[in-house]
Amino acid sequence: MTTSGTAEHGLRLIPFHGLRYVPERVGSLAAVTSPPYDVVVRPDGVDHLESADPHNIVRLILPQAGTPAARNEQAARTLQDWLAEGILSADPEPALYVYEQRRAGLLQRGLIGALALSTADAGIVLPHEDVMPDVVTDRAGLMRATSANLEPLLLTYRGDDPGTGAAEVVERTAQLAPLLSTTTEDGFQHRLWAITDPAELAIVTADLSDRQALIADGHHRWATYLRLQEEHGSPTAWDFGLVLLVDTARYPLQVRAIHRMLRRLPVADALAALDGHFRVRPVDGPLPLALDALADASERGNAFLLAGDGAFHLVTDPDLALLDTTVRHDRPEAWRRLDATVLHATLLDALWHIPDAPDQITYIHDAASTVAMAERHGGTAVLLHPVREEVVRDLARQGVTMPRKSTSFGPKPATGLVLRGLG
Contact 227, 140 (CB under 8 A): yes
User: What pLDDT does residue 118 have?
Assistant: 95
CA angle 286, 292, 294 (to 5 degrees): 105
Angle formed by the axes of helices 367-377 and 287-298, nearest 10°: 110
Contact 71, 42 (CB under 8 A): no
Contact 212, 123 (CB under 8 A): yes
Tens-digit pLDDT profile for residues 169-184: 999 999 999 999 999 9
Q: Which of 6-10, 358-362, 396-400 has the highest mean pLDDT?
A: 358-362
- In angstroms and rounded to an integer, the radius of gyration of the C-alpha atoms of the chain is 22
Does this model's pTM top 0.75? yes
Residue 127 vs residue 423, higher pLDDT: 127
Peptide bond into 403 cis (omega under 30): no
Residue 41 pLDDT grade (very low, low, confident, very high; cuts 50, 70, 90): low
Helix (H, G, I), strand (E, B) or coil at 81: helix
Does the pLDDT value for residue 47 go beyond 90?
Answer: no
Does the pLDDT value for residue 201 go beyond 70?
Answer: yes
Phi then psi dihedrals of residue 39, to 5 deg: -100, -25
Secondary structure element (H or E) that encloses residue 221, with its range: helix 219-232
Nearest to 151 by CA among 23, 36, 22: 36
Nearest to 375 by CA among 261, 287, 257: 261
Does the pLDDT value for residue 7 go beyond 50?
Answer: no
- The residue-averaged pLDDT of 221-230 equals 97
Tens-digit pLDDT profile for residues 393-407: 888 888 888 887 888
Residue 299 vs residue 5, higher pLDDT: 299
Tens-digit pLDDT profile for residues 66-105: 999 999 999 999 999 999 999 999 999 999 999 999 999 8
Contact 302, 316 (CB under 8 A): yes
Burial class (CB in 10 A: 0-12, 13-18, 19+), 150: buried
> Across all residues in the chain, what is the average pLDDT?
93
